[in-house]
Structures are given as C-alpha cells and as structure tokens.
C-alpha cells in the first residue's frame, strides 16, 4: 500500500515541503504503524526544516516533519505486546508525523480517551510533557507548592498553557506573560497576566510584591536575564527555547525527556482533558497539503492556538 506524506529534501522555507506518495513503512521491533488521524505542528518542526539546527543544505535523506500524532494502529512490529491493530492512540512519532501513515515506538504512545477528539489529542503531547518536565526541574513537580510564585514567560503558548495549569493545580501563584491579545486567556487559566516585552520585569514586580521564586522561559524571546534577576539565581529558572542565553547565564536548558515519564504525563493530561480539568489551546486545522502554511502561521504568530494537520 502507498499513502501520502509531506517531506523535504533540502532545508529552507515552507516551499521545500512537498506532498508525495510513498510505500507504507513497516514497523520495526517495538514499533507500530499508525493510520494518522491528526498531527500537530510544533515550532521544532519548522526549526528543523529551516536547517538552523543542522549542517549543510540538505538532510541526509528526505525528512518527514512532525512528532505529535494521534491515530489508529494498523500494523504491529515484533515485541509489541500492549497495542493491537485498531487501537486509538496518541503520542510521538518516529520519522515524521505529517502523513497518512506514521511509525511510532509503542512506548511513546498512550490510548486516546474516547471523549477527546483526534485533533485535540494530537495537540497535547509536546506541550504537556515539556511543561511537566520543566516544572519538575524547577522543583514544582507533583505535590503541593502553595506559597511559591512562578513566572511563566509565554503563558499563552503551546507549552505555556500547560505549565500554568499544572502549577496552579499544585497551589503555585503564577504570573504569565503574553501579548495584549491573550491577557484574558492567561487569566482564565488561573494566572495573573502581564504583557511581555520592554519593561516586563517591572510589570512582574508590580503584581508580585512578595517576590518571584521560580521562572520558566517557554518563549526564548530574550527575557531570560530578567527572569534570573527576578528570581535572584540562575538555578531558579529553566528555559526550553533560549539555548545561548542558558549557556551565558548558567540556566538549565531542557530538551527531550524519559519515554516512560512522558507517556505517564501524557496519559494523565489526556484523562484531565477528557473530564474537563485541563484546558487545551484552541485548535486550528489544516489539510496535509497546507503544511507549509501551517508552519509559517505558527512561526510568525499569525494564528493563535495549536495548529493541527488532518490527513
């Protein structure tokens, strides 16, 4: 069987993405093949496509973008015991998610609750798992952290919305930065909103006379020095998006987590989404052949929310 997939053979702008027909990939040891129902667009997808994170003009072989995926298992590789053909699952793909089919390690998938739509399910993995990992690094993992004040820079984004909600649920007082447009959204998540940009540190001090204990830079837009100044120590801040700033200031940069932990976090987040305890960003859907537009809309902040491809 063949199926459609988005791929790029050279690095560059959205124009390097092409929709092509390929032979369905066979799942290897520990993998399953999914019939993809929804695949989310994340900033990492267009960063990798641009070549900014690689050497040379082209990847060694054609690349299919995307990680976050929701779909139906349609083939099972050797050694997979906990998933079967027909299972509806969510998680992270291996070798790309922007297609009608995708491969994934079984241990990178969890079951999709029936109450959660395909597009919402696909929108959750990276945001929820990254937020949980960063909070744990900040000493704000599961448990009661009443009395702690946290700043989330980029509180309206794909990672920020989960960081705010996880922290609020643990008793943390959260101050979240966002554009003017998203101040009410951040407030609705349980945080005190503050507009980002020039003067943000003063605005944060105004709403946090008690001081700031921890800071999470999800945006990577240059606020890290201010965040360190607000908390008083680089040990009390974490970034997922400012690698150079982290090196310079001695702040922890985190990327990628342990598969078992991520699967547990994702399953828990989906259960909370299913019963309404956890809000997800608004989802905007695109057909597969609009993958380049979806990536551009995300990169340039033209469309708010989580952008999801429906093959």
SS3 74: strand
Contacting ligand NAP within 278-297 (CB under 6 A):
none
CA distance 169 to 167: 5
Can you tell me which residue has the tokens 């951040």? Answer: 186
CA distance 273 to 121: 9
Q: Name the residue nearer to ligand NAP (CB basis): 101 or 156.
A: 156
State phi, psi for 207 to the nearest 5 degrees. -90, -5
Q: Is 104 in the site for ligand NAP (CB under 6 A)?
A: no
The site map against ligand NAP for 178-197 (x = CB under 6 A) is: xx-xx-------------xx
For the record, the structure tokens of 201 come out as 């540190």
Q: Are 68 and 124 in contact (CB under 8 A)?
A: yes
Q: Is 160 in the site for ligand NAP (CB under 6 A)?
A: yes
CA distance 223 to 282: 25
To the nearest 10 degrees (0 to 180), the angle between helices 259-274 and 125-137 is: 120
Q: Is 298 in the site for ligand NAP (CB under 6 A)?
A: yes
Q: Name the residue nearer to ligand NAP (CB basis): 32 or 186.
A: 186
Q: Are 237 and 224 in contact (CB under 8 A)?
A: yes
Q: Name the residue nearer to ligand NAP (CB basis): 58 or 195.
A: 195
Q: Is 130 in the site for ligand NAP (CB under 6 A)?
A: yes
Q: Name the residue nearer to ligand NAP (CB basis): 101 or 304.
A: 304
Q: Is 65 in the site for ligand NAP (CB under 6 A)?
A: no
Q: Are 10 and 60 in contact (CB under 8 A)?
A: no
Binder among 148, 218, 231, 295 for ligand NAP (CB under 6 A): 218
Q: Name the residue nearer to ligand NAP (CB basis): 52 or 81.
A: 52
**Cβ-closest residue to ligand NAP?**
157
Least spacing, CB of residue 266 vs ligand NAP, in Å: 14
Least spacing, CB of residue 231 vs ligand NAP, in Å: 16
Size of the site for ligand NAP (CB under 6 A): 32
Least spacing, CB of residue 196 vs ligand NAP, in Å: 4
For the record, the structure tokens of 148 come out as 């702690």
Least spacing, CB of residue 9 vs ligand NAP, in Å: 23
Q: Is 165 in the site for ligand NAP (CB under 6 A)?
A: no
Q: Is 43 in the site for ligand NAP (CB under 6 A)?
A: yes
Which runs of E-coded beta strand occur in the chain? 2-7, 18-23, 31-40, 68-76, 88-92, 101-105, 109-111, 149-153, 173-178, 192-195, 214-217, 237-239, 252-253, 283-287, 306-310
- What are the residues binding ligand NAP (CB under 6 A)? 42-44, 47, 126, 130, 153-154, 156-160, 177-179, 181-182, 196-197, 218-221, 223, 240-241, 254-255, 298, 301, 304
């Amino acid at each position: 069987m063949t199926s459609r997939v988005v791929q790029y053979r050279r690095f560059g702008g959205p124009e390097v993405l092409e929709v092509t027909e390929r032979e369905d990939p066979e799942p290897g040891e520990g993998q399953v093949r999914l019939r993809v129902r929804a695949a989310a667009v994340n900033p990492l997808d267009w960063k990798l496509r641009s070549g900014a994170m690689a050497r040379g003009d082209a990847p060694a072989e054609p690349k299919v973008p995307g990680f976050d995926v929701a779909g139906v298992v349609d083939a099972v590789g050797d050694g997979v015991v906990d998933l079967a053909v027909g299972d509806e699952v969510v998680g992270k793909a291996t070798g790309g998610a922007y297609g009608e089919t995708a491969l994934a390690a079984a241990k990178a998938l969890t079951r999709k609750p029936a109450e959660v739509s395909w597009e919402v399910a696909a929108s959750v993995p990276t945001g929820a798992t990254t937020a949980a990992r960063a909070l744990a690094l900040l000493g704000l993992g599961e448990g009661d952290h009443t009395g702690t004040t946290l700043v989330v820079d980029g509180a309206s984004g794909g990672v920020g919305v989960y960081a705010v909600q996880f922290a609020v649920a643990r008793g943390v007082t959260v101050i979240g930065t966002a554009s003017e447009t998203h101040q009410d959204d951040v407030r609705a998540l349980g945080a005190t909103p503050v507009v980002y940009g020039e003067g943000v540190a003063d605005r944060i001090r105004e709403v946090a006379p008690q001081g700031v204990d921890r800071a999470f830079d999800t945006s990577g837009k240059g606020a890290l020095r201010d965040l360190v100044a607000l908390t008083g120590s680089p040990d009390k801040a974490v970034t997922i998006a400012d690698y150079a700033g982290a090196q310079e200031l001695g702040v922890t940069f985190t990327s990628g987590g342990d598969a078992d932990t991520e699967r547990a976090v994702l399953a828990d987040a989906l259960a909370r989404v299913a019963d309404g305890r956890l809000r997800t960003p608004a989802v905007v859907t695109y057909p597969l052949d609009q993958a380049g537009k979806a990536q551009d809309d995300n990169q340039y902040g033209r469309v708010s929310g989580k952008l999801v491809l429906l093959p």
